[in-house]
Structure 1
Amino acid sequence: MKCEPYRELATREVDATPYATSLIEGHRDFGYSLETALSDIIDNSITAGAQSVALIADTAADEAWIAIADDGSGMTEAELIDAMRLGSKNPTHKRAAKDLGRFGLGLKSASFSQCRCLTVLTRRNGKTSCARWDLDRIAQRNEWSLELIDNPELVKGHHLLPETGTVVVWEKLDRLSGGYTHDRGKRAEYMNSEFSRAERHLRLVFHRFLEGTKPRVKLLLNGRRLKPIDPMASSHAATQKDPEEILRLRQGDVVIRCHTLPHHKRMSQEEWDEIGGPEGHLKSQGLYVYREDRLIIAGGWLGLARQTELTKLCRIAVDIPNTMDAEWRIDVKKASAQLPPVVRERLKRVVERFVGTSKRTYRSRGQRLVDETRFPIWNRVQKDGQIVFRPNLEHPIFRSYAEQLPEGLREGFERCLRIVGAGLPIETLHAELVGNAEAVTADETSEHDLKVLVCSLATTLMENGVAAEALPDTLQSNPFLRVRWEAAAQILDDFLRTRVS
């Protein structure tokens, strides 16, 4: 077969510059929310070495506006122009350590997702520079024409500019009106609710920067300093921490730290609710991925485990450097990522071990229900691969009462107890425990009933050879009595004194 001679392709070049209006409008729809947009701007402030970042939101004005002001390094005019350019950084280029940027799109895309007018004022070495993108102006001209403003002192937000630093101003907040374009009161109410949600997000995402007596960054919202929310409860004395594991890869180290949160009874209600967040602890368990100390993923197991009530106190912090962005597929918003195969394999083993330990801890607590020395009111029974709970008919309080009944009534009494056991509202209990387990509690008992229970148990234990001095420890091991021990202890003291005398 005769081969055709090699021929080069004949090519021509034509101008295929993107239409300015179409492209820049497309940058509004990367999926940013208010909280992720604000986070992206704050990333730039932290990368610029800011020690203080102030968010100012004037939601009540006729034309609402938002400003993010920092005391970072500021920019020269040439640097400002470059920063305002879309795609100003190549994501494949090596970044400085602790650089929180990614594509060079965040400032623009995050801002455009919320507003139609983006103005940046910046000052370095006493020289102020100012530039603006106005999407309405671009739509009119359909050209890439960045405005440089020579009299920045007239620009909204200029009074917020420090001696060195940067102010980002959002105006024409069409995406934040909630549809209440002509109702200023409703619009302000909607915007304030959005900022309330964004506040929690910022406290969580940047918590490592906000922590400590000398935090790396102070973050303020309308003059109020934001406090960090640590999802690991790292500083709580009852938090259990496993030794860290380090996965060393060519692109850098992945550091894995497993935490088990304290039981809700060992935390204040405010602490418990704050760490659990609006969706609760069941939804907030799982992996927390940090990129240069900035939280990227907050909870969920990424397919490595199921969210269950038994594992809702499990948190695993995973730290990665910015050199792994491509492998983790960090998105533009820096709000999602994917596990690289080699990391997934290691994390799978870590999660299986960690989650297994947590489940065994819960199950060991459950097994204590069948410890005969504790005389449980309910017995936990495995039957045909399922678990059922039955009233313990041999419990001293039941036996004592049954023995006082005529012989003909005892079977009826025991039948009533069995019906109570069979009638447990399992589905309702399951729904309550999954949705709000910490709110489910035992009913109160009367002083007389508690006295009868303590005396019956103490009598039975002593008849079975338990010494009087060992009774407090033995009875206190009963979960029912443990939570009522102050009253139960007094009843036991009176019982022992009466018995001795």
Structure 2
Amino acid sequence: MELVTDSEYQVREIQAAPYASSLIEGHRDFGYSLETALADIVDNSITAGASEIRITAITSSDSPYIAIVDNGSGMAEAELVEAMKLGAKNPTHARLRKDLGRFGLGMKSASFSQCRQLTVISRKDGKDTCARWDLDHVASRNDWTLTIIDNPEKLTHYQLLTSNGSAVIWEKLDRLLGETSLPQGKSIEHANAELVKAERHLCQVFHRFLEGTKPRLSLYLNDRKLKPLDPLCSDHPATQKDPEEVIPLNKGNVRIRCHTLPHHRKMDSDDWDELAGPEGHVKSQGLYIYREDRLIIAGGWLGLTKQTELTKLCRIAIDIPNTMDSEWKIDVKKASAQLPPQVRDRLKRIIERFVGTSKRTYSARGKKLVDEDLHPLWNRVIANGQISFKPNLVHPVFSSYANQLPEDLKDGFYRCLRLVGSGLPIDTLHAELVGNPEAVVSAEAEIEDLRDLVYSLAETLLKNGVSTDVIKNVMQANPYLRDRWESANELLLEFLGKKS
């Protein structure tokens, strides 16, 4: 059969442009939240070289608005018009390392997701230029008419721009304020709650830009300077960090570094809660993927392993360059990605090795609890594949008390101890530990009970040939006494004073 080429056909070309009103409305539904939309605008400011970005959110006035103002390089009119076009950049083109954009859709789609009127005022070399998209205007005319405002100094928000740079202004905040069935007061309350969530998101997503004595970026929300929130807790002395591993690929290097967070007892409770975030530590474990220092993925294992209570301290930082966007399938919102096959295979092996570190952090503490050398109050017993905990009947405190009892009462005393062990509320403990493990604590001991424990242990250690110089170190290794060491140490000194 003879092949037919295109040249043998009669060809006509006609314009098949999409309806402006339909397409621009579609750009409102890419899945942005307020926090991801604000982060996308901040990306543009960073790309423009901004060292300071101020977000102002006024939600309770008659004319509510959100403005994102930077001190970046600014844009001349031709640059601003180009930036206001949908799809202003080709994602396949090479770009500077600091460029955090990809499709040239972010500013517009992020803005449209939150408002129906987007105004950008920009100043470059002392000259101001201004452009506006009004979705109601586009809908009524059904064409791509961008409004250029030649006298931006007349605009209400013009004064927000104080130097070279740009101001992105959102008005007609229908998504944030107008499309809710809540009354006005509740609507504003909802908006403010979303802003609180957005603040935490920005602190975490851009934490590498905000860190250090001379940070690359100062970021403000309603004149409050935002502090970095490092989800990897990199600077804490108790955080365990593995050596960095590098996967060289055709379009750049993928850098991987595993972090094991400190046990919650080694951190301030407020810092621990902040690190956990609203979903808790179990949900926050996993991969933290950075693209040019900007956080893209925050937690989750992307199908490589399961989230468990014992691995909740595991967090892995993965750094990729913007040259790998297509391989990682970075989306428009820069809020999701997929692992390339060669990275997935290597990462799976790394994770299998690494998650054991977090498990050991907890299991080591559990081992100490039942270590025979530390005279535990409880014994861990394995029988027929099942694990149970029983009171340590030969513990010095129990033995000392039993020895003071008449023979006919000793059996009853040990029977009571065994009943306590068999009556542990396992189901309740499991539910509490899964739901909120940090809130589960030991009951405080009465001072006389603690005295009996310290005296009995110290007496036993002395009888076993442990010198008084070493007793303190041995007893401090006991997890029960370590958690109450200030009181226990005083009682130990009291005991040793009576012996001397």
Shorter chain as denominator, the TM-score bin is over 0.9
What residue number does 2:156 align with?
A: 156
What is the alpha-carbon distance in structure 2 between the residues aligned to residue 166 and residue 361 of structure 1?
48
What is the alpha-carbon distance in structure 2 between the residues aligned to residue 360 and residue 219 of structure 1?
38
The SS at the match of 2:357 is helix
What residue number does 1:362 align with?
A: 362
The SS at the match of 2:153 is helix
Task: Work out whether residues 45 and 70 of structure 1, in 8 Å CA contact, stay in contact via their aligned partners in 2.
Answer: yes
What residue number does 1:321 align with?
A: 321
The structural deviation recorded for 1:11 is 4.0
What residue number does 1:389 align with?
A: 389
- What per-residue deviation string (whole Å, max 9, x for no partner) do you get for residues 135-164 of structure 1? 101111111111111111122321111331
What residue number does 1:403 align with?
A: 403
Name the CA shift for 1:483/1:37 in 2 (closer, same or farther; >3 Å).
same
- What per-residue deviation string (whole Å, max 9, x for no partner) do you get for residues 397-438 of structure 1? 112222333333322222222221122112221222222222
Which stretch of structure 1 is more off in the superposition, 174-183 or 24-33?
Answer: 174-183
The SS at the match of 1:98 is coil
What residue number does 2:4 align with?
A: 6
Task: Work out whether residues 53 and 220 of structure 1, in 8 Å CA contact, stay in contact via their aligned partners in 2.
Answer: yes
- What per-residue deviation string (whole Å, max 9, x for no partner) do you get for residues 344-367 of structure 1? 111111111111122234323322
Tell me the amino acid that sits aligned with residue 285 of structure 2.
Answer: Q
What residue number does 1:58 align with?
A: 58
- What per-residue deviation string (whole Å, max 9, x for no partner) do you get for residues 181-227 of structure 1? 79443332221111111000001000111111211111111111111
Task: Work out whether residues 397 and 452 of structure 1, in 8 Å CA contact, stay in contact via their aligned partners in 2.
Answer: yes
**Following superposition of structure 1 onto structure 2, how do residues 202-351 of structure 1 map, counting pairs within 5 Å?**
202-351=202-351
Task: Work out whether residues 204 and 231 of structure 1, in 8 Å CA contact, stay in contact via their aligned partners in 2.
Answer: yes
The SS at the match of 2:216 is coil
What residue number does 1:135 align with?
A: 135
Q: Is 1:106 the equivalent of 2:120?
A: no
Task: Work out whether residues 178 and 191 of structure 1, in 8 Å CA contact, stay in contact via their aligned partners in 2.
Answer: no
Percent identity for Structure 1 against Structure 2: 65
The structural deviation recorded for 1:260 is 1.6
Task: Work out whether residues 115 and 173 of structure 2, in 8 Å CA contact, stay in contact via their aligned partners in 1.
Answer: yes
The SS at the match of 1:424 is coil
- What per-residue deviation string (whole Å, max 9, x for no partner) do you get for residues 466-495 of structure 1? 233322222222111112222222322332
What residue number does 2:378 align with?
A: 378
What is the alpha-carbon distance in structure 2 between the residues aligned to residue 219 and residue 116 of structure 1?
25
Task: Work out whether residues 208 and 293 of structure 2, in 8 Å CA contact, stay in contact via their aligned partners in 1.
Answer: yes
What residue number does 2:173 align with?
A: 173
Name the CA shift for 1:178/1:402 in 2 (closer, same or farther; >3 Å).
farther
What is the alpha-carbon distance in structure 1 between the residues aligned to residue 203 and residue 181 of structure 2?
30
The SS at the match of 1:177 is helix
The structural deviation recorded for 1:126 is 1.6
- Which blocks of at least 5 consecutive residues in structure 1 are unaligned? none
Task: Work out whether residues 262 and 313 of structure 1, in 8 Å CA contact, stay in contact via their aligned partners in 2.
Answer: yes
Name the CA shift for 1:181/1:374 in 2 (closer, same or farther; >3 Å).
closer
The structural deviation recorded for 1:465 is 2.8
What is the alpha-carbon distance in structure 2 between the residues aligned to residue 450 and residue 5 of structure 1?
95
Name the CA shift for 1:181/1:417 in 2 (closer, same or farther; >3 Å).
closer
- What per-residue deviation string (whole Å, max 9, x for no partner) do you get for residues 378-410 of structure 1? 001222223211111111111222233333332
What is the alpha-carbon distance in structure 2 between the residues aligned to residue 163 and residue 328 of structure 1?
37
Q: CA RMSD in A?
A: 1.7
Task: Work out whether residues 35 and 202 of structure 1, in 8 Å CA contact, stay in contact via their aligned partners in 2.
Answer: yes
- What per-residue deviation string (whole Å, max 9, x for no partner) do you get for residues 234-283 of structure 1? 22222222111111111101111111222222222222122111122221
What is the alpha-carbon distance in structure 2 between the residues aligned to residue 354 and residue 131 of structure 1?
51
The structural deviation recorded for 1:322 is 0.2
What is the alpha-carbon distance in structure 2 between the residues aligned to residue 179 and residue 113 of structure 1?
12
Tell me the amino acid that sits aligned with residue 425 of structure 1.
Answer: P
The structural deviation recorded for 1:133 is 0.7
What is the alpha-carbon distance in structure 2 between the residues aligned to residue 37 and residue 27 of structure 1?
12
What is the alpha-carbon distance in structure 2 between the residues aligned to residue 263 and residue 359 of structure 1?
11
Name the CA shift for 1:5/1:58 in 2 (closer, same or farther; >3 Å).
closer
What residue number does 1:72 align with?
A: 72
The SS at the match of 2:436 is helix
Which stretch of structure 1 is more off in the superposition, 325-334 or 473-482?
Answer: 473-482
What is the alpha-carbon distance in structure 1 between the residues aligned to residue 287 and residue 4 of structure 2?
55
What is the alpha-carbon distance in structure 1 between the residues aligned to residue 329 and residue 10 of structure 2?
37
What is the alpha-carbon distance in structure 2 between the residues aligned to residue 172 and residue 388 of structure 1?
62
Task: Work out whether residues 330 and 336 of structure 2, in 8 Å CA contact, stay in contact via their aligned partners in 1.
Answer: yes
What residue number does 1:472 align with?
A: 472
What is the alpha-carbon distance in structure 2 between the residues aligned to residue 466 and residue 192 of structure 1?
62
Tell me the amino acid that sits aligned with residue 6 of structure 1.
Answer: V
What is the alpha-carbon distance in structure 1 between the residues aligned to residue 418 and residue 375 of structure 2?
17
Tell me the amino acid that sits aligned with residue 4 of structure 2.
Answer: Y
What residue number does 1:490 align with?
A: 490
The SS at the match of 1:30 is coil
The structural deviation recorded for 1:10 is 4.8
What residue number does 1:33 align with?
A: 33
What is the alpha-carbon distance in structure 2 between the residues aligned to residue 301 and residue 157 of structure 1?
44
Alignment TM-score, normalising by the size of structure 1: 0.96
The structural deviation recorded for 1:94 is 1.0
Task: Work out whether residues 373 and 474 of structure 1, in 8 Å CA contact, stay in contact via their aligned partners in 2.
Answer: no
What is the alpha-carbon distance in structure 2 between the residues aligned to residue 185 and residue 239 of structure 1?
44
Task: Work out whether residues 368 and 479 of structure 2, in 8 Å CA contact, stay in contact via their aligned partners in 1.
Answer: no
Task: Work out whether residues 180 and 186 of structure 1, in 8 Å CA contact, stay in contact via their aligned partners in 2.
Answer: no
Which stretch of structure 1 is more off in the superposition, 456-465 or 21-30?
Answer: 456-465
Name the CA shift for 1:4/1:248 in 2 (closer, same or farther; >3 Å).
closer
Q: How many residues align?
A: 498
- What per-residue deviation string (whole Å, max 9, x for no partner) do you get for residues 258-315 of structure 1? 1122222222222212211112222111111000000000111111222222222221
The SS at the match of 2:307 is coil
Tell me the amino acid that sits aligned with residue 364 of structure 2.
Answer: S
Task: Work out whether residues 62 and 184 of structure 1, in 8 Å CA contact, stay in contact via their aligned partners in 2.
Answer: no
Task: Work out whether residues 291 and 320 of structure 1, in 8 Å CA contact, stay in contact via their aligned partners in 2.
Answer: yes
Tell me the amino acid that sits aligned with residue 397 of structure 1.
Answer: V
The structural deviation recorded for 1:459 is 2.1
